[in-house]
Amino acid sequence: MSSMSRRQLISAATGMAAAAATPRLAFAQAAPAPASGNGAFILPPLTYPTNAFEPYIDQKTMEIHHGKHHSTYVANMNTIAKDHPTLGEKPLVEVLGNLGSVPDSVRTAVRNNLGGHANHTMFWQIMGPQGGKPDGEVLAAIDRDLGGMEKFQTDFNAAGGRVFGSGWVFVIVDKSGKLSIETRPNQDNPIMDGKRALMGNDVWEHAYYLTYQNRRPDYLKAWWNTVNWTKIAERYAAAKAGTLAV
């Protein structure tokens, strides 16, 4: 086991203990009061209950993932923004798209924590119960650029499976609506390369370890049952209009 995955496990175990002590609060604590700074960064509340994706994603994983992992990225950004307030005043896309202009002393922390905030904000958004199926323009783009749904899902799962250690697998959408599959390590986000994610899946162990342990491929397959295609259609339209926020 790598030191990274050991840290994640320790982090997950700590989160579990805390969640077990206050099980009913895990969902309600959507937006913890910022520890410091201008409070510019806010944890977006989930729009569905934490048990919405059982049995594909277990409730405890959802509670820890949203209420502990994502909320920590948000809290860290509010701490960083205490000394660097402009980070919280600029649009997220502008900051992540110009990491070179972030002060050296906090650049890596911003990359990791603001990247994590962006990735998870997208992630909660593109999942939902009764997510339907792709149709219209999105389905046409999947057929045209990704070889149809079956090949798309096979290739996306394979790419996610190949990520070594922690990271993400994304569907990138360009301004013309063209789709492609790309992966990123850690909490990197395509915005950092001037690209945009239509959707993506989190392949950090914290996203699946309690149910799937080492079986990341099983998680990748099951995850499709949680995808909200209505929201992805909205994101696709926004990407083509140049208005996609995260």
Token pair 């997220």 in the structure block, residue: 92
Query: What does the angle CA 154 – CA 200 – CA 89 come to, to the nearest 5 degrees?
Result: 170
Buried b (16+ CB within 10 A) or exposed e, 225-238: ebbbbbbbbebbee
Shortest Å distance, C-beta 139 to Mn ion:
28
Shortest Å distance, C-beta 204 to Mn ion:
5
Shortest Å distance, C-beta 189 to Mn ion:
12
Nearer to Mn ion, 152 or 204 (CB): 204
Residue 188 makes contact with Mn ion by CB under 5 A: no
Phi, psi of 149 (to 5 degrees): -60, -45
Nearer to Mn ion, 209 or 229 (CB): 209
Nearer to Mn ion, 152 or 208 (CB): 208
Contact positions with Mn ion (CB under 5 A) in 55-114 = none
Question: 192 with 162: CB under 8 angstroms?
Answer: no
Nearer to Mn ion, 170 or 204 (CB): 204
The token duo for 149 is: 């749904």
Contact positions with Mn ion (CB under 5 A) in 191-220 = 202, 204
- Give the footprint of Mn ion on this chain (CB under 5 A): 202, 204
